[in-house]
Structure 1
Amino acid sequence: MVFHGALVASPGMGHAVPILELGKRLLNHHRFDRVTVFLVTDDVSRSKSLIGKLLTEEDPKFVIRFIQLDVSGQDLGGSLLTKLAEMMRKALPQIRSAVMGLEPRPSVFVVDLLGTEALAVAKELEIMKKHVLVTTSAWFLALTVYMASLDKETLYKHLSSRGALIIPGCNPVKFDPVEDPSNYLRELAESQRIGAEVVTADGVFVNTWHSLEPMTIGSFLDPENLGMVMRDVPVYSVGPLVRPAEPGLKHGVLDWLDLQPKESVVYVSFGSGGALTAEQTIELAYGLELSGQRFVWVVRPPAEHDPCASMFDKTNNETEPLDFLPDGFVDRTKYIGLVVRTWAPQEEILAHESTGGFVTHCGWNSVLESIVNGVPMVAWPLYSEQKMNAWMISEELKIASRVNVADGIVKKEEIVEMVKRVMDEEEGKEIRKNVKELKKTAEEALKKTHIPSAYFT
């Protein structure tokens, strides 16, 4: 019997990378004979380009296929959660057809958290084991499944107050108060649906490890806490699922880093989907300039009303003029900084010995990549669960300083302060020490097999 796994990722590199890395782990550590990964996307050429930078070798046992979505005329309003959930819903017939066409028929099916409706497809096709991969933290999984156990009135109460949602055995989650929770009906409905579908799986994999989230993972294992909410569905921490840096990769950014002193450069990137407003982009430019700190900044064109606009931007910005930056900025900073359009090899930058700090939107992939490389962070969340991630790394783990995004625009003076705090000051030394300690636990987690060897048999 050929042991075949089918894995499905929703749109975005934050979902694709962990699914791909999980697929490699199933092949290398769990005696799978074949893994087929389906990546749902509305732009196959862009996805192929990005994935091509992740995978340098072809393996006949490890097959990547793309499920192309036509979202023209589709309502993609609302939050990123509702956009991606709607895209995955539209992709269900194609996912079903694609999995049905696999030979041999897979015995294991894995989908990420935003595609849980596909679990019904796996059940219909009588696939032996159905799983969910949570590409973000165990704490976010805790929020998702616990919200599904609450009625709407209770959720409205928490959204309308300045209080926090108390999750059994976990840190509470603070909500930004909103005047009218009914404006979030769609998002709440999607969140509760996802949480309810998670507990229909045979198992849940989470991109984390015990030393990173001991309290939350402990709650999932405790039948008196979240174990009760999970209804005996096992939860396994399988992280960190991050792509390792490629030794010897050639890129102009890495050549520039080779010329800089050790831990002297701050890397600035808001992920593959993040976008700043024009005013915020200008403030960030002035902040970097005034800090006098060496920097590498991955720049994308501004977006005024959607902080995740870059995720759905199909234009190629690598040759576009940088006229949205302050006049003369690039020339004035050319001896201490490097401005990169659209994309840079993030894993290799974070692994480079010249990189000493990371200004990040706190996407979970970026957080884990920073920890794996022992790089302290400036937490600058933009959307989705990033505020939770920012709180965790700054307040709980103390491996980051956090900017104040509550007042809207982060001014250049605060940017200078945050960069200097992480790169130069005593607080930065403590943050650097903490993240290097956490790096050791990540290295240990990478050596372990977190799923019992008999689990898939």
Structure 2
Amino acid sequence: MEFHGALVASPGMGHAVPILELGKRLLSHHGFDRVTVFLVTDDVSRSKSLIGKTLMKEEDPKFVIRFIQLDVSGQDLTGSLLTKLAEMMRRAIPHIRSAVIELEPKPSVFVVDLLGTEALAVAKELEITKKHVLVTTSAWFLALTVYMASLDKETLYKHLSSNGVLLIPGCSPVKFDRVQDPSNYVRELAESQRIGLEVLTADGVFVNTCHSLEPVTISSFLDPENLGRVMRGVPVHPVGPLVRSAEPDLKHEVLDWLDLQPKQSVVYVSFGSGGALTAEQTMELAYGLEMTGFRFVWVVRPPAEDDPSASMFDKTTNQTEPLDYLPYGFLDRTKDIGLVVRTWAPQEEILAHESTGGFVSHCGWNSVLESIVNGVPMIAWPLYSEQKMNAWLVSEELKIAARVDAGNGVVKKEEIVEVVKRVMDEEEGKKMRKNVKELKMKTAEEAVKQISTPQADYFTQY
């Protein structure tokens, strides 16, 4: 009988990539005969395009990717990105259930990412032997989620409204710099607490991290007096970094341009598949890049005024649309030092290229890991969700990034110049580069060991 795993990812490349990479690992190291990955999306064609550009080479009968299409037109998906994605996954539950029922053979293992924990009930209903959660971001974010769920609403609100800091057992506290009145964030807090409680119904939790990145937090999960107590016996396994390796022979205009640039001379600028800047911020960034005098590759998207995650649901794929939201004459003035790319670029290959010397990033966890495994220091520019936590981790704990100050809403061109120079051309940047190169080596060593952590027979022993 075939040993079959079913994996489910919520919308967004930040969830799809780790789920897909985990599926590959299950096939290659954990005795699975087949893995079926379900990707929930509101735009199948866009998702296929992104996946095709980054992951899918050819169809493999042992590794099947299916898309669960959601029609969200005319439906209320307001609020933060967390509430939007949680609601989308809630509406996907009947489709997930139907899709899993149709699988032959019946899966023995079910894995869903953190935003789809309500689907664990489907696995239980269908009597799937083992059900797990994959946390596609940091162990610190998992710590925040489960600890918030351990507090009653009154206690949680008291913590947040009194000083905006949540003291988590055994790891760094989390600062909520914009929470003055927690009642303004009822939906977000309720979804977070629900997810944290549902995590505890799983048989185990995989986290896309490793000891080198988060030794203190991981140790706290292993300590029954700290986060181990909060987890109520549910084991936590660091299985990262789950990132796609760069393709050495990939052909792309950006890579051709990078081939012509000096080593570590280029600043790569990208805010992920979901990040969006305002029109004013886009202008400031353009002027800032021009003023630095450094070579750059900038992945640009149309501005969005009210939602920093607007590109997550933006169906625009036109590679020839006018760039009239950039400063007049900017493209002409920077044509000898810069390359502007619309919508998408091969990020893994860019970060792996020897000409890339720095990465202006929104600090989505995928991007953080890709920067680390390629040894590239960062300019941390968080926009939404847990990205501020990630930015703090890379800048304050790991010392591999300089962080911009967006406290006043707009990062001015002068600060952009200053922070890029710090990373690319000053002593501080040299230390960051040294730190990230060392971290690259440590994570590479751990990645080899992670093949047996959890043990190769972790699933088949049940």
Instruction: Tell me what 1:418 maps to.
Output: 419
Q: Which AA in structure 1 matches 2:366? A: N
Once the two structures are overlaid, the 10-residue window that deviates more, 141-150 or 440-449, is: 440-449
Instruction: Tell me what 2:44 maps to.
Output: 44
Instruction: Tell me what 1:22 maps to.
Output: 22
SS of 1:133's equivalent in the other structure is: strand
Instruction: Tell me what 1:64 maps to.
Output: 65
1:176-230 CA distance string (max 9 Å, x none): 2433221111111000000000010000000000111000000000001000110
1:260-306 CA distance string (max 9 Å, x none): 00000000000000000000000000000000000000000000000
1:315, distance to aligned residue in structure 2 (A): 2.0
Alignment of 1:232-243 (within 5 A): 232-243=233-244
CA RMSD of aligned residues (A): 0.8
CA distance in 1, matches of 2:427, 2:318: 39
Aligned residues of 1:162 and 1:177 also touching (Cα < 8 A): no
Q: TM-score, normalised by structure 2?
A: 0.98
CA distance in 2, matches of 1:380, 1:359: 7
Instruction: Tell me what 1:103 maps to.
Output: 104
1:24-55 CA distance string (max 9 Å, x none): 00000111000000000000000001111121
CA distance in 1, matches of 2:164, 2:267: 35
Instruction: Tell me what 1:32 maps to.
Output: 32
Instruction: Tell me what 1:186 maps to.
Output: 187
Q: Which AA in structure 2 matches 1:38? A: F
Q: Which AA in structure 1 matches 2:225? A: E
CA distance in 1, matches of 2:358, 2:318: 25
Alignment of 1:56-455 (within 5 A): 56-448=57-449, 449=451, 450-455=453-458
1:1-46 CA distance string (max 9 Å, x none): 2100000000000000000000000000111000000000000000
CA distance in 2, matches of 1:226, 1:321: 51
1:235, distance to aligned residue in structure 2 (A): 0.5
1:74, distance to aligned residue in structure 2 (A): 1.4
SS of 1:167's equivalent in the other structure is: coil
1:121-156 CA distance string (max 9 Å, x none): 000000000000000000000000000000111221
1:453, distance to aligned residue in structure 2 (A): 2.4
SS of 2:142's equivalent in the other structure is: helix
Kindly tell me the number of residue pairs found equivalent between the two proteins: 457
SS of 1:254's equivalent in the other structure is: helix
Q: Which AA in structure 1 matches 2:48? A: K
Q: Which AA in structure 1 matches 2:6? A: A
Aligned residues of 1:4 and 1:104 also touching (Cα < 8 A): yes
CA distance in 2, matches of 1:179, 1:226: 27
CA distance in 2, matches of 1:171, 1:57: 43
Aligned residues of 1:160 and 1:180 also touching (Cα < 8 A): yes
Aligned residues of 1:300 and 1:317 also touching (Cα < 8 A): no
Q: Which AA in structure 2 matches 1:20? A: L
1:33-87 CA distance string (max 9 Å, x none): 0000000000000000111112112211000000000001211111000000000
CA distance in 2, matches of 1:445, 1:179: 41
CA distance in 2, matches of 1:417, 1:267: 16
Instruction: Tell me what 2:6 maps to.
Output: 6
Q: Which runs of 5+ in 2 are unaligned?
A: none
CA distance in 2, matches of 1:228, 1:274: 36
Q: Which AA in structure 2 matches 1:345? A: P
Q: Hey, which bits of structure 1, 4+ residues long, moved more than 3 A?
A: none
Aligned residues of 2:205 and 2:235 also touching (Cα < 8 A): yes
SS of 1:90's equivalent in the other structure is: helix
1:224-243 CA distance string (max 9 Å, x none): 10001101111000000000
Q: Which AA in structure 2 matches 1:339? A: V
1:164, distance to aligned residue in structure 2 (A): 1.6
Aligned residues of 1:307 and 1:382 also touching (Cα < 8 A): yes
SS of 1:161's equivalent in the other structure is: helix
Aligned residues of 1:160 and 1:177 also touching (Cα < 8 A): no
Q: Which runs of 5+ in 1 are unaligned?
A: none
Q: Which AA in structure 2 matches 1:11? A: P
1:363-393 CA distance string (max 9 Å, x none): 0000000000000000000000000000000
CA distance in 1, matches of 2:376, 2:342: 22
1:391-417 CA distance string (max 9 Å, x none): 000000000000001111000000000
CA distance in 1, matches of 2:97, 2:361: 36
1:158, distance to aligned residue in structure 2 (A): 2.5
1:163, distance to aligned residue in structure 2 (A): 4.2
Q: Which AA in structure 1 matches 2:13? A: M
Q: Which AA in structure 2 matches 1:72? A: S
SS of 1:5's equivalent in the other structure is: strand
CA distance in 1, matches of 2:41, 2:61: 22
CA distance in 2, matches of 1:151, 1:176: 21
SS of 1:6's equivalent in the other structure is: strand
Q: Which AA in structure 2 matches 1:217? A: I
SS of 1:326's equivalent in the other structure is: coil
Identity in percent? 84
1:90-113 CA distance string (max 9 Å, x none): 000000000000000000000000
CA distance in 1, matches of 2:416, 2:151: 39
Aligned residues of 1:109 and 1:130 also touching (Cα < 8 A): yes
CA distance in 2, matches of 1:434, 1:176: 28
SS of 2:331's equivalent in the other structure is: helix
Aligned residues of 1:284 and 1:412 also touching (Cα < 8 A): yes
